[in-house]
């Protein structure tokens, strides 16, 4: 029919292997409704749950969520504590289902700065799921990309000084192996919600060839259909990696 284009479907043979998400707009979502910011973070957590499940269903191998940046400590104490409580509650309520789905949780960032009760919960989740292999679920917590790169440079320099490493051995692959994402493929697709068009110190090294998808909706309004639309758009793009 003339005006009835066939709906586009996801090509399951050409899925992005790794999708990264900047879950932005929780605060504005709540403000628009005259509610406290934490209501937005709770709504955003419901979206996170749905997207983890949908990604697993689709067969995505790696998913990465920017949950808390090294800069987020500057937010009011109530909001920081509220986010830590949300994280703990999330793990408590979801961990059994995550584990039974063979999903491995991994943290990008330094969890030593988290409050003790949150760190313990995160460590429990890491340990429980460490051998799972169906999907890797990365949570960026107290994460900053420049911080990560500085940490890698320091370790590489230490190894050069000690003689464990020759300067000529340093190449891109080696640098990647010193990052929190060591051993993982770089993201194929990065999705940021809320109409902001920036990276905010997220995976700067890893997104060299990533396709970006900026959504104008706030994170709590993102859903399975929006994820599928983004994947279809990704599949229609032409990735050249610098070639022609
Ligand atoms: C950005 O929105 C969102 C965050 C800084 C936190 C994201 C955290 C969650 C969705 C929940 C916690 C995570 C887990 C893993 C359970 P914003 O607050 O910057 O929104 P705004 O830009 O509209 O103010």
HSE of 6 in the Cβ direction (CA atoms, 13 Å)? Answer: 3
Percent of the chain with pLDDT over 90: 94
Ligand 1 site residues (CB inside 6 A) read 23-28, 41, 44-45, 48, 65, 67, 72, 83, 86-87, 90, 139, 194
Pure H helices in 12-163 = 26-32, 37-58, 77-100, 116-129, 145-162
Question: Confidence class of residue 8 from pLDDT cuts 50, 70 and 90?
Answer: confident
- 76 contacts 150 by C-beta, under 8 angstroms: no
Which tens digit of pLDDT belongs to each residue from 133-188? 999 999 999 999 999 999 999 999 999 999 999 999 999 999 999 999 999 999 99
pLDDT at 241: 79
Q: Which domains does the chain have, with CATH numbers?
A: 18-144+186-235 (3.40.1180.10)
Q: Which residues are catalytic, by number?
A: 24, 72
Average pLDDT, the chain: 96
Q: Give the single-character DSSP code of 204.
A: T
Which tens digit of pLDDT belongs to each residue from 17-73? 999 999 999 999 999 999 999 999 999 999 999 999 999 999 999 999 999 999 999
Ligand 1 centroid–CA 68 distance in Å is: 7
Ligand 1 centroid–CA 243 distance in Å is: 37
Nearest to 210 by CA among 182, 230, 183, 180: 230
pLDDT above 50: residue 1: no
């Amino acid at each position: 029919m003339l005006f009835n284009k066939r709906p586009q479907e996801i090509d399951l043979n050409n899925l992005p292997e790794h999708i990264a998400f900047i879950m932005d707009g929780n605060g504005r979502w709540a403000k628009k409704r005259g509610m406290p910011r934490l209501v937005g973070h709770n709504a955003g957590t419901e979206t996170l749950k749905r997207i983890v499940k949908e990604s697993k269903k689709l067969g995505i191998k790696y998913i990465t969520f920017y949950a808390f940046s090294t800069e987020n400590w500057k937010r009011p104490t109530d909001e920081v504590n509220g986010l830590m409580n949300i994280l703990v509650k999330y793990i408590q309520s979801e961990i059994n289902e995550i584990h039974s789905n063979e999903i491995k949780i991994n943290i990008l960032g330094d969890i030593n700065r988290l409050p003790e009760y949150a760190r313990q919960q995160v460590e429990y989740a890491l340990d429980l799921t460490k051998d799972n292999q169906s999907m890797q679920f990365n949570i960026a917590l107290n994460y900053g990309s420049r911080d990560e790169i500085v940490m890698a440079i320091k370790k590489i320099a230490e190894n050069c000084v000690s003689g464990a490493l020759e300067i000529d051995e340093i190449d891109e692959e080696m640098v990647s192996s010193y990052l929190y994402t060591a051993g993982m493929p770089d993201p194929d697709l990065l999705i940021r919600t809320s109409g902001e068009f920036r990276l905010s110190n997220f995976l700067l090294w890893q997104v060299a060839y990533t396709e970006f998808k900026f959504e104008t909706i706030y994170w709590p309004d993102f859903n399975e259909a929006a994820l599928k639309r983004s994947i279809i758009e990704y599949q229609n793009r032409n990735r050249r990696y610098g070639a022609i």
